[in-house]
């Protein structure tokens, strides 16, 4: 079912964990050298669909577009942006021929998929160094399952991480966070964690705490946990250059940082001012950097988010700062962030690979992934139970160590639509624990947009509301009509038995949590071009509202289903026959559908996950039994023994 082909000199990415024998007879693709590069071509049938590529913009069916795998901090991305924060080089061809192709290389890759009606897939690996895995199956869905099998079992976070999280760049003190938690509790809106952006650090230095702003982080973490809320601090990729800062001094003493061509440590400017980048290609550096999280886990911290790990660069010793602000390295702002990605800098620093200097540019796409590996491997030792971790930059393989969010999006309706299309594509590449900045990171959200976005994010494994400094308040209690926000977010907690169960079962079965309708209803021509309705787990179909001012939408039911309307904290169920409908969805309601013969377990809900009883279940739908995965939500014992049968 899987064949492997090797071209050029390979750098081990550890993306594939299965032992697959080398094959010499290449299937499906022809190969043409173009200088140092290699171009792979496949001739498409007129009806072929092409899926995959994970964190990319555009349609779920990638046909007609070009994408570039080169991890990019692109805060102003649009529906035509070619590169984002992750590189996920797996595509699925679904037609007369059904197969997947994973181009395993840390270097830049160009995907031209029937661009300008060429009738071909053209994949150009710039370095010419790549392992190509061809994955076969009798359906697109099974091709993906076979691929997920060879890249290894995905990450399962603690149960509390499936709760609702609030974040903002600009929570500067204990008092700021305390006000957020109190605001949610007073409004009766559930909340499980608050993310801490760079302001908690001492001078934006990793693994430090500003004692003026957080005089007793350990005590504060205990206080928050007693209220049912965890603290989730950020960790950036760059290490601040500062005498007396132990992480910096240890890194220099042990030769742990990326180098210039002359062997000296490479200096760049990011949030802390001048920094060095750890050389995550070295196992000893990964172990060392990951062990630094102990400074925060010793304070009772159980979750983190890794950022700026493309790696993002404002400027370096080889490139000039573009603003006075950059020269001063003063209080950071969003304009400064937009100046990141000085691509020529990626050719100005090197990794020490077995005693030889290898240009970062050629290994660029695995940097954030290896940072996630570094954190995940050590957090498993540092945190007594399951850790919570998600990252901005990624590559296939990182899904085994943590989740991802889709980066710095915008408070626009187009970005809500983009979020919906990205989820199944990310699942195809192993990233099940994923989500976007609900409400949008950049710009000012509106009450309407946030409510509609929440109505979708209710179903995403990672459900975090995050926004940038100097944007309007985006906490749900800051808007009029708090009851509407309470109603929608409470649905997440009432569906928790289903969401958690379907997520873990998908991990155990090497399956997807989100699927396009075409994966399941492959014989129904109507679903081929439907990309704003998704299957969530085995039982649910969703059809979110994604247009400003809309109070209804067209919904296609590919089979008889039960329509479930969540209104005022109650479920209202109506049987519907297969066909087209215009469905009214008021701003304070959520409508979803249960497939024929299926069930959905629900519970009473609570203000945080730990106060929910996952065994007090009410079953919705017209099925007879449901396989519920249920465990303690904390220990690493994740297996099918934890599945029990519920009967209606």
Q: Which residues pair with 410 in a beta bridge?
A: 442
End-to-end Cα separation, the chain, in angstroms: 39
Residue 337 a catalytic site member: no
Instruction: Round to whole Å and give the CA distance between 410 and 78.
Output: 9
Residues 6+ apart with CB under 8 A from 85: 55, 71, 72, 73, 74, 310, 368, 392, 393, 394, 404, 406, 407
Which entry of 279, 408, 484, 538 is annotated as an active-site residue? Answer: 408
Residue 511 a catalytic site member: no
Instruction: Round to whole Å and give the CA distance between 140 and 90.
Output: 13
Under 8 Å between Cβ of 420 and 530: no
Report helix angle 413-428 to 447-457, nearest 10.
Answer: 10
Distance, C-alpha 232 to centroid of its chain? 16
Instruction: Round to whole Å and give the CA distance between 274 and 287.
Output: 23
Residues 6+ apart with CB under 8 A from 315: 268, 269, 321, 322, 326, 339, 342, 345
Distances (CA, A) of 544 to 118, 401, 426, 531: 34, 30, 19, 11
Q: What b/e string do you get for 132-144 counting C-beta neighbours within 10 Å, with b at 16 or more? A: bbbbbbeebbbbb
Beta strands, E only, 303-349: 303-307, 315-316
Residue 176 a catalytic site member: no
Cα Rg of the chain, angstroms? 24
568 conformational bin, left if phi > 0, alpha if psi -120 to 50, beta if neither = left
In what order do the strands lie in the sheet containing 273-276?
239-240, 273-276, 268-270, 315-316
Q: Which two tokens stand for residue 262?
A: 């002359």
- DSSP category for residue 366: G
Which entry of 307, 502, 511, 631 is annotated as an active-site residue? Answer: 307
Residue by residue, what is the 3-state secondary structure of 87-132?
ECCEEEEECCCEEEEEEECCCCEEEEECHHHCCEEEEEECCCCEEE
Which entry of 174, 279, 310, 538 is annotated as an active-site residue? Answer: 310
Beta strands, E only, 281-432: 303-307, 315-316, 350-353, 356-359, 388-391, 394-395, 403-405
Q: Which residues are designated catalytic? A: 307, 310, 408
């Amino acid at each position: 079912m899987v064949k492997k082909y090797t071209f050029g000199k390979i750098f081990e990415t550890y993306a594939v964990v299965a032992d697959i024998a080398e094959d010499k007879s290449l299937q499906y693709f022809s190969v043409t050298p173009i200088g140092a590069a290699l171009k792979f071509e496949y001739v498409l049938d007129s009806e072929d669909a092409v899926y995959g590529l994970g964190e990319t913009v555009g349609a779920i069916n990638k046909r007609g577009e070009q994408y570039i795998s080169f991890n990019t901090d692109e805060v102003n991305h649009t529906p035509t942006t070619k590169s984002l924060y992750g590189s996920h080089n797996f595509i699925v061809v679904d037609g007369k021929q059904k197969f997947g192709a994973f181009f395993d290389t840390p270097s830049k890759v160009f995907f031209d998929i029937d661009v300008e009606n060429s009738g071909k897939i053209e994949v150009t690996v710039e370095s010419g160094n790549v392992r190509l895995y061809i994955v076969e199956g009798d359906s697109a869905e099974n091709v993906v399952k076979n691929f997920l099998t060879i890249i290894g079992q995905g990450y399962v976070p603690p149960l509390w991480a499936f709760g609702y999280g609030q974040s903002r760049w600009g929570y500067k003190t204990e008092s700021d966070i305390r006000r957020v938690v109190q605001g949610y509790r007073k409004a009766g809106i559930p909340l499980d964690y608050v993310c801490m952006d760079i302001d908690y650090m001492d001078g934006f230095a990793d693994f430090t705490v500003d004692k003026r702003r957080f005089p007793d982080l350990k005590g504060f973490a205990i206080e928050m946990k007693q209220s049912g809320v965890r603290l989730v601090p950020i960790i950036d990729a760059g290490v601040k250059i500062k005498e007396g800062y132990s992480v910096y001094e240890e890194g220099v003493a042990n030769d742990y940082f990326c180098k210039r061509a002359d062997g000296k440590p490479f200096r760049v400017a990011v949030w802390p001012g001048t920094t060095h980048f750890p050389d995550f290609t070295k196992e000893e550096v990964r172990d060392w950097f990951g062990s630094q999280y102990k400074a925060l886990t010793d304070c009772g911290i159980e979750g983190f988010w890794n950022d700026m790990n493309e790696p993002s660069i404002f400027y370096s010793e080889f490139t000039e700062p573009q603003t006075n602000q950059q020269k001063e390295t003063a209080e950071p702002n969003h304009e400064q962030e937009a100046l990141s990605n000085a691509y020529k800098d990626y050719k100005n620093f090197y990794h020490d690979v077995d005693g030889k200097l290898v240009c970062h540019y050629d290994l660029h796409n695995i940097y954030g992934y290896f940072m996630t590996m570094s954190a995940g491997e050590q957090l498993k030792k540092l945190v007594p139970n399951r850790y919570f971790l998600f990252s901005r930059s990624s590559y296939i393989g990182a899904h085994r160590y943590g989740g991802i969010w889709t980066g710095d999006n915008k408070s626009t309706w187009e970005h809500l639509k983009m979020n919906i299309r990205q989820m199944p594509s990310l699942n195809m590449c192993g990233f099940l624990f994923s989500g976007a900045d609900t409400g949008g990171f950049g710009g000012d959200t509106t009450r309407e947009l946030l409510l509609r976005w929440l109505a979708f994010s209710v179903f995403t494994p990672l459900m975090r509301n995050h926004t940038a400094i100097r944007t309007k308040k985006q906490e749900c209690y800051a808007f009029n009509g708090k009851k509407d926000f309470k109603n929608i977010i409470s649905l997440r907690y009432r569906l928790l038995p289903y969401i958690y169960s379907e997520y873990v079962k998908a991990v155990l079965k090497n399956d997807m949590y989100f699927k396009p309708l075409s994966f399941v209803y492959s014989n129904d021509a109507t679903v081929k071009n439907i990309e704003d309705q998704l299957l969530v787990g085995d039982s649910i179909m969703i059809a979110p509202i994604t247009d400003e001012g809309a109070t209804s939408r067209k919904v296609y039911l590919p089979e008889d289903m039960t329509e479930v309307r969540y209104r005022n904290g109650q479920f209202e169920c109506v049987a519907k026959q297969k066909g087209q409908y215009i469905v009214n969805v008021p701003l304070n309601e959520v409508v979803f559908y249960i497939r024929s013969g299926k069930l959905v377990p629900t519970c009473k809900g609570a203000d945080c996950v730990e106060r929910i009883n996952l065994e007090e279940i009410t079953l919705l739908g017209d099925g007879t039994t449901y396989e519920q995965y249920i465990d303690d939500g904390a220990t690493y014992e994740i297996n099918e023994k934890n599945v029990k049968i519920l009967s209606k």
